[in-house]
Amino acid sequence: MKTNVYENAEVTANWHHLRFLFRG
């Protein structure tokens, strides 16, 4: 299984950022 850790970290950070924005 080849997973790009940096890409996953970026996607996770973006997802948490969106959640934070929606939560206010």
Q: What is the pTM of this model?
A: 0.41
How many whole angstroms separate alpha carbon 17 and alpha carbon 3? 22
pLDDT of residue 22: 79
Helix (H, G, I), strand (E, B) or coil at 16: helix
The predicted-structure confidence for 1-24, as pLDDT tens digits, reads as follows 677 888 889 999 998 888 887 776
Helix (H, G, I), strand (E, B) or coil at 18: helix
> What's the full length of the chain, in residues?
24
pLDDT of residue 6: 84
How many whole angstroms separate alpha carbon 4 and alpha carbon 10? 10
pLDDT of residue 24: 62
pLDDT of residue 17: 87
